[in-house]
Amino acid sequence: MKLAICICTYNRNNSLIKCLRSVNRLYKISNIKIEIILVDNSIKYSSFKPVKEIKKSIKYKIIQLHEKRRGIVYARNRCLKEAKKTNPKFISFFDDDCIIDRFWLKNVFKAKKYTNAEILTGPQIPLSKGSSIKSDLINYSYFFEKKYGNNINRVNWAASNNVFLEYEVIKRHNLLFDKTLNKFGIGEDQLFFSKLNGYGYKIYWNKNIKVFETIHRHRQNLSWLITRSFRLGVLGHYIDMSIYGKPTGFVINYLKCIYYFIKASIYIFLFFNSKFKTQLLNYFSRFYGRLVGPFVLKKIDFLRK
């Protein structure tokens, strides 16, 4: 059985090489044949030479592609286009800056046997230099990570920085990532997997299906958190409208808008505590994003130049 591992990259060659080497170190499952679909979305195809140089040290086939149209949606859809040619049994997506746990594949199939799920995902664990986890107050991306009490949980969607699924569920619905979100910078994966969840496929999160990612410096300041939360608010409106249709989605969006306003209000009186201040900014930005979402989505361009 073939597993196509899809990695999209953009001018992060050092991180990409580390990611590919972590794929190479995966604990092997005897009946699984791995191939890597690598899509470079940079203008100058910057990864071509360094990847070509390490190909001999990677035991799996690497299919190198250059997607000139800028944006993560175009890059991920190029992965799906290539997968359509090779017709794998399973397909996975990772970011180019992640290190995949050596037992990731073993734990995927262990969880799949237990849950019989078509889609499996897990945590992205942030690492600082020396492989220690950063403080929650410094690493603001912590606020956007899923937090569960149990080791395994059924969820409504998965992120494409750590996901495994049966390729048949994509092929059956001829599903692609939504081009409307190409310049938005986030959320195309949330909508993609929310649609699959709506079709009735099971998505499970398991704490042992893990990858590690470097903490980027720009994620360690409040301006990043505020911008991210605002974008997630705007995105939430679009996803609700896409999943439930305009009338119902409109109502759901503004009910959630009220919810985030109430959550923000709770923290107003605790503003001088740094941790609660962060929560206030997070919830208020989500509220504001939901509030103006119907009017600004197509005007926002977070596409990296």
Q: How far apart are the first and last CA of the chain?
A: 39
Could you tell me if residue 286 is inside a domain? Answer: yes
pLDDT band of residue 131 (cuts 50, 70, 90) is: very low
Q: What CA–CA distance (Å, rounded) separates 133 from 69?
A: 36
The residue out of 150, 184, 219 marking a domain boundary is 219
User: 247 and 211 in one domain?
Assistant: no
Indicate if 189 and 245 belong to the same structural domain: no
Whether residues 142 and 34 fall in one domain: yes
Q: What 3-state class would DSSP assign to 206?
A: strand
Label the pairing between strands 61-66 and 211-214. unpaired
| 141 assigned to some structural domain | yes
How far apart CA 118 and CA 240 sit, in angstroms, is 23
Question: Same structural domain for residues 103 and 214?
Answer: yes
**H-helix or E-strand spanning residue 149:** none
Same domain, 26 and 172: yes
Domain residues for the domain of 288 are 223-299
pLDDT tens, position by position, 149-192: 789 999 999 999 999 999 999 999 999 999 999 988 789 999 99
Q: What are phi and psi of 33, to 5 degrees?
A: -105, 120
- Whether pLDDT at 247 is above 80: yes
- Number of structural domains found in the chain: 2
Residues 207 and 228 in one domain: no
- pLDDT tens track for 190-209: 999 999 999 999 999 999 99
In a domain, 29, yes or no: yes
pLDDT of 78 over the 60 cut: yes
Residue 201, domain CATH:
3.90.550.10
Is 305 part of any domain? no
Q: Which of 184, 219, 254 is the last residue of a domain?
A: 219
Do residues 135 and 264 share a domain? no
Whether residue 149 is contained in a domain is answered as yes
147 shares a domain with 131? yes
Q: Is residue 252 part of a domain?
A: yes
Domain boundary among 190, 219, 248: 219
CA distances from 185 to 56, 91, 139, 160, 206 (A): 34, 22, 20, 13, 26
| Pair 172, 280 in one domain | no
Could you tell me if 167 and 22 lie in one domain? yes
pLDDT at 45 over 90: yes
Looking at residue 138, its pLDDT comes to: 54
Dist CA 107 CA 188 (whole Å): 26
Looking at the structure, do residues 173 and 231 belong to the same domain, yes or no?
no
255-122-41-87 Cα dihedral, nearest 10 degrees: -110
Looking at residue 53, its pLDDT comes to: 94
- The answer to whether position 136 is within a domain reads yes
> Based on the domain organization, do 274 and 140 belong to the same domain?
no
Average pLDDT, the chain: 90
- Please report whether residue 249 resides in a domain: yes
Q: Which has more pLDDT, 28 or 155?
A: 155
Classified as helix, coil or strand, 7 is: strand
